[in-house]
Each structure stands twice: as C-alpha cells, then as structure tokens.
Amino acid sequence: MKKQQGFTLIELIVVIVILGILAATALPKFVDLRTDAALAGTQGVAGAVSSASSINYGTCMARGTGHATCVRLNAANAGATLTTTGTGAIDLPAGYSVTTDASCLGGAAGSAVSVTITGEQAQTANATVLCTG
C-alpha cells in the first residue's frame, strides 16, 4: 500500500501566516503610490508650463511681441495669462490650476517669475514663467 503524501494543516497555516505578514508590510507602499503619482502629475504639468513659457518667449523675441503667436506677458497674473484657453500658449488639464501667480509688471524681457500649479490631491509644484517685456 502506498502512503499518501501532502501538506499538513500546520504547514498550510504557516504559509498563510507568512503571506499575511508579507501583504501587511507591502500594502502601505502600494497605497502611498497614489500620492506619489499625483505629485508627479502636478510636477509634469508645471514642467509643461515652464516649457511653454520658454517657447512663447522665444517666439516673441524672434517674431516680435505684436505677432499673433506671441502671448504678451508684461502685466500682473503672468501664469494665468499664459494658461488661459485661447491665448495659444498652453491649456491646463482638467483638475489643475494656477494658485499662486506672479507679476511681470515692470519686468524686463527674459526676467523669470515663479507660479504655483495645484493639481490632484492638492499637490503643488512651481513653474518658471519668462516675462516678454
């Protein structure tokens, strides 16, 4: 007669306990990834605003500040002006906004100001906007 082989109940319980401990230690890391992803998204939008500002500045300097493709940043609320729909510079994705704006009033062409972008889960990131003078 052959002896049946298999796992005992004790062995199965030990494996389940070990898996439970591993899951309990790994779960907080996976839960925290949502916050990290929201911050990365906000930083990405801030980077896009900074890039759009640089492209806008280059366009204004090459074609003149009166050209149709130049967004004139020479007054208060430079960030809001740059990110307003219809100006041709950049449209912020849904859920993102300029919360702390900067003024280019009296700023020379090429001077940099910092604006704060707020996104999902109230994550914030700074973007650099170049004044066009």
Q: Are 88 and 52 in contact (CB under 8 A)?
A: no
Reference 116, options 101, 131, 96; nearest CA is 101
Q: CA-CA distance, 129 to 5, in Å (whole number)?
A: 72
- pLDDT score recorded for residue 82: 82
Reference 59, options 46, 68, 50; nearest CA is 68
- pLDDT score recorded for residue 86: 61
pTM (2 decimals)? 0.73
pLDDT tens digits, 57-93: 898 889 888 887 888 888 888 888 888 756 566 788 8
- pLDDT score recorded for residue 88: 61
- pLDDT score recorded for residue 42: 92
- pLDDT score recorded for residue 33: 80
List the beta bridge partners of residue 115.
127
Show Cβ contacts of residue 6 under 8 Å, excluding neighbours closer than 6 positions.
Answer: none
Q: What is the DSSP letter of 76?
A: S
Weakly modelled stretches of the chain, pLDDT under 70: 1, 85-89
Q: Is 27 exposed, middle or buried (0-12, 13-18, 19+ CB in 10 A)?
A: exposed
Reference 129, options 21, 53, 40; nearest CA is 53
Give the percent of the chain with pLDDT over 90.
Answer: 26
- pLDDT score recorded for residue 12: 93
